[in-house]
Chain A
Amino acid sequence: MTTKTLIRPETPESRPDPVEVTVIDTDVHVEPRSFDELIGYMDVPWRDRAIKARVPFRRAGFTTFDVAGRMDAYPETGDLGSDPELVEKHLFLDDPIDYAILLPWSLRGFTVDPALDTALAGAVNRWLAETWLSKYNTENRYVGSISVSVEDPVGAVREIEEWAGHPGFRQVAISHYGPRPFGHPMYDQIWEAAARHRLPVSIHFKGGATQPLGWTSTGPLQFFVEYHSLIAPMAYATHMASFICNGVLDRHPGLQFLFLEGGFLWYRPFVDRMGRHWQKTAKEFPTRKTPLQYVLDHFRFATQPVEEAADPLQIATLFEEANAGDLLMFSSDYPHYDYDPPSKALPRALDVQVKKKIMAGNALEFFDLPKTRPGDRFDRKGGR
């Protein structure tokens, strides 16, 4: 009797071929269904309804006039960005990305009490670990951020220590406001903890409770259109100079920062000015590199809201003059109103290789993510 081994026909369910990662979205905001869901993750002394009144989520002075979220992204029940099915559809099917870097947005820096701020960050981290990084993360497409309160450095370090070992968390996330620029020694323990765990730090623009909203070096802004375009890049330029001049990058040579939602083209004239007379101006502190070299080694920028111009060649030239291929990473800001879809975000005339690095290559390195992933149900559903 002879036996014959038959090759088993491949079922549609098995897709052994790995899928190349071509789109990483570095700015996706997921939220609990409601604030009550988050309160359930807070430590006992905080589980007090009264904290709701102490956490003003809205800063009504500077907002867009139409709905702040993508109107097509509100679930039937629950808050914007809280429904896993709807988020999956938008992120992995409609205009598909491979990985989403999650930055729960509404929950950091919204209180004047630093202890409560850290307690909220801790609850966000526990909630994210239990939901979007585990039970909602069946296909392993979500990548988490450790939320910390930058105004409470001791609490921030505690949070980093607690979550750095969790494989789902790949960066530390902070908001842009602090009472002094971020090179000040008061923050160094945060950067030290991030560097020790080889976690990059992303900085997101947000109107926190302690921030004098809309104030600039020359008085308060008046219009949302000035606020939304200027506040983030002005703060980021300040922090960038502060990191460079205060030695943070020399103390932590492996540390990298990502500036989210604050534009990109401005950094080049800014560091050109800083670097123009660097031998003279940098005499007050030890320094090892030029400002431009620090930027190339340590700072990255997310695209959204992507700088646009009517002339596609003009904007592509500006991108290339600002080293877009090395420094820029795609972001959509899903599910907010100014969402940039991956298929349309970049200037059309940009070089193909540069586009590839912006859409995925730079983020793969920055977050140390695998270049391929298993095919999954989204690929099958999307016919990818």
Chain B
Amino acid sequence: MIIDCAVHPVLSSERFNKFVGGPWNLRQLPTLFGEKYGAPFDQLAVPADEASSPAAVANCLRGAKIDYAVLSPTTFGYWPNPHQGVAVAQAANNMLAEDWLNAPEADGRFLGSIRVPMNDVDAALGEIERWADDPRFVQIVVPARGLATYGDQRFFPIWRTAAERGLAIFIHDDLSAVVEPPPTQVGFPSFYAEIHALRPLSGIVHLTSFIVSGVFERLPDLRVVLGDVSVHEARALAIRTDKDWQSDRIEVPWMTKEPTAYLERHVRFVSQPEDEISPHSLRSTGTLGGDNSSLVIFGSRHPYWDGVNADEVFPKWSGEERARCLGGNAVQFYPRLAALN
């Protein structure tokens, strides 16, 4: 069985504006990939109309022998106007359910992600409640770039509800962000190539924040999936946090073990294109913080240009290990996918 944990339907602007309604549809929607860092090539791997067509996406996944696909449309990151933020999340969820999950072509193989407005926790909880009874929604998706780190106490009710309702948290970087602090702590880089390389860092910040602020200690059932971070990069930085935790444990006494020890229970990493060339990827077991073959779940990143093909991931691993990455790990990790076993 192959489960694609990272498929990103493009919500067509015209249709999205119908869902979002007035007055928000009087404003122009941002472009999908943002205005600042245009790539010197087309960032969609398929024609735009196919990326926003449920039938075309279903067909494409069928061709790639994908059994189930977790869909998470991008909604342009963090919205400054809290009312618009709520309207956008609601519209995205309505549209995902109506146009995609209910699409006859999907044949029940599309799974959904609940979008929540991050500047209004009460509204976020309301949105989760609106959808959580629908078993096709398997996760909550939150932007990798926000205005606060996700260990912050203000977000805790969202994570608690997710853990209680068996929803995983998917952290994904919407390239186009409406509110945008500098994308690095030393200002704006010059080129797309830089931004692309730096993209995993936001997710790593949230991962570290979840760990050290005690969210995983308080919510033993919370599961977090990082959409844009290779397991190797996360590990290479978590090793440093292990040391700082040893030195300043008194700052975070709720932690009962070193940061890397939280990965196995609480975190999975979507397969990244660089996994294909990383020397770390040759090893499936015996790696720090857990085996690679347990920590990585397959995600094609369809329809984006830097996608990953199911038949190309971790070619050096054993058949059993590859099967875990392609499906077994997701079944084991997402509470709502356990039934697929």
Taking CB atoms, residues of chain A closer than 8 Å to B236 are: 263, 265-266, 268-269, 307, 318
CB distance from A336 to the nearest CB of B (A): 11
**Is B185 interfacial (CB 8 A cutoff)?**
yes
Partner of A276, one of B189, B213, B232, B277: B277
Whether A226 touches B185, Cβ cut-off 8 Å, given contacts A218-B149, A219-B146, A241-B197, is: no
CB distance from A192 to the nearest CB of B (A): 18
A285 contacts B191, C-beta separation under 8 Å:
yes
Taking CB atoms, residues of chain A closer than 8 Å to B232 are: 268-269, 272
A276 contacts B244, C-beta separation under 8 Å:
no
CB neighbors of B among A110-138 (8 A): none
**Is B237 interfacial (CB 8 A cutoff)?**
yes
Report A's interface with B, CB cutoff 8 A: 64-65, 176-184, 211-212, 215-226, 228-231, 233-235, 237-239, 241-242, 245-246, 263, 265-266, 268-278, 280-285, 291, 305, 307-309, 311, 314-315, 317-318, 321, 337-338
A230 contacts B237, C-beta separation under 8 Å:
yes
Taking CB atoms, residues of chain A closer than 8 Å to B272 are: 273
CB neighbors of A among B265-300 (8 A): 272-274, 276-280, 283, 286-288
B248 contacts A277, C-beta separation under 8 Å:
no
Query: 1/0 per residue B248-274: CB within 8 Å of A?
Result: 101110000000000000000000111
Partner of A219, one of B147, B235, B305: B147
A and B contact pairs by CB, cutoff 8 A, 5 listed: A217-B145, A225-B247, A238-B184, A268-B280, A277-B273
Partner of A217, one of B152, B183, B208, B306: B183
A241 contacts B186, C-beta separation under 8 Å:
no
Whose C-beta in chain A lies nearest to the C-beta of B40?
Answer: A283
Taking CB atoms, residues of chain B closer than 8 Å to A223 are: 212-213, 251-252
A225 contacts B251, C-beta separation under 8 Å:
yes
Q: Of A218, A221, A224, A305, which is in contact with the most chain B CB atoms at under 10 Å from its CB?
A: A218
**Is B196 interfacial (CB 8 A cutoff)?**
yes
A305 contacts B240, C-beta separation under 8 Å:
yes
Taking CB atoms, residues of chain A closer than 8 Å to B204 are: 230
A269 contacts B184, C-beta separation under 8 Å:
no
**Further contacts, 7 of them, CB under 8 A, given A217-B145, A268-B236, A314-B288:** A211-B185, A216-B185, A220-B148, A221-B149, A268-B280, A280-B41, A337-B247
How far is B197's CA from A272's CA once the two chains are assembled, in angstroms? 9
B197 contacts A263, C-beta separation under 8 Å:
no
**Is B161 interfacial (CB 8 A cutoff)?**
no
**Is B193 interfacial (CB 8 A cutoff)?**
yes
Whether A269 touches B250, Cβ cut-off 8 Å, given contacts A241-B189, A263-B240, A277-B273, is: no
Partner of B196, one of A216, A281, A314: A281
How far is B237's CA from A282's CA once the two chains are assembled, in angstroms? 26
Whether A235 touches B190, Cβ cut-off 8 Å, given contacts A218-B202, A219-B147, A270-B197, is: no
**Is B39 interfacial (CB 8 A cutoff)?**
yes
Q: Of B202, B242, B247, which is in contact with the most chain A CB atoms at under 10 Å from its CB?
A: B247
Total residues of chain B contacting the partner, CB 8 A: 70
Whose C-beta in chain B lies nearest to the C-beta of A180?
Answer: B187
CB distance from A224 to the nearest CB of B (A): 6
**Is B63 interfacial (CB 8 A cutoff)?**
no
CB distance from A332 to the nearest CB of B (A): 15
Partner of A216, one of B201, B233, B283: B201
**Is B67 interfacial (CB 8 A cutoff)?**
no
A284 contacts B274, C-beta separation under 8 Å:
no
A269 contacts B278, C-beta separation under 8 Å:
yes
Whose C-beta in chain B lies nearest to the C-beta of A63?
Answer: B248
**Is B198 interfacial (CB 8 A cutoff)?**
yes
Q: Of B145, B236, B272, which is in contact with the most chain A CB atoms at under 10 Å from its CB?
A: B236
Taking CB atoms, residues of chain A closer than 8 Å to B36 are: none
CB distance from B151 to the nearest CB of A (A): 7
Partner of A265, one of B39, B145, B186, B239: B239
**Is B303 interfacial (CB 8 A cutoff)?**
no
CB neighbors of A among B23-57 (8 A): 39-41
Partner of A222, one of B151, B242, B305: B151
CB distance from A314 to the nearest CB of B (A): 5
Taking CB atoms, residues of chain A closer than 8 Å to B243 are: 229, 305, 307-308
How far is B245's CA from A234's CA once the two chains are assembled, in angstroms? 18
Whether A230 touches B288, Cβ cut-off 8 Å, given contacts A219-B181, A222-B151, A281-B193, is: no
A235 contacts B186, C-beta separation under 8 Å:
yes
Taking CB atoms, residues of chain B closer than 8 Å to A176 are: 186
Q: Of A225, A230, A242, which is in contact with the most chain B CB atoms at under 10 Å from its CB?
A: A225
B251 contacts A65, C-beta separation under 8 Å:
yes
Taking CB atoms, residues of chain B closer than 8 Å to A317 are: 283
Q: What 6 pairs between A and B have smallest CB-CB spacing?
A: A269-B233, A229-B240, A283-B40, A265-B236, A274-B197, A281-B193
Whether A177 touches B186, Cβ cut-off 8 Å, given contacts A216-B201, A222-B149, is: yes
B184 contacts A314, C-beta separation under 8 Å:
no
A321 contacts B279, C-beta separation under 8 Å:
yes
Whether A284 touches B186, Cβ cut-off 8 Å, given contacts A268-B278, A273-B200, A314-B287, is: no
CB neighbors of A among B163-218 (8 A): 181-194, 196-198, 200-202, 204-206, 208-209, 212-213
Taking CB atoms, residues of chain B closer than 8 Å to A179 are: 186-187
Taking CB atoms, residues of chain B closer than 8 Å to A217 are: 145, 181-185, 198, 201-202, 205
How far is B185's CA from A211's CA once the two chains are assembled, in angstroms? 8
How far is B251's CA from A350's CA once the two chains are assembled, in angstroms? 33
**Is B84 interfacial (CB 8 A cutoff)?**
no
Query: 1/0 per residue B60-99: CB within 8 Å of A?
Result: 0000000000000000000000000000000000000000
CB distance from B253 to the nearest CB of A (A): 11
B276 contacts A238, C-beta separation under 8 Å:
no
Taking CB atoms, residues of chain B closer than 8 Å to A212 are: 185
A281 contacts B192, C-beta separation under 8 Å:
yes
B252 contacts A225, C-beta separation under 8 Å:
yes
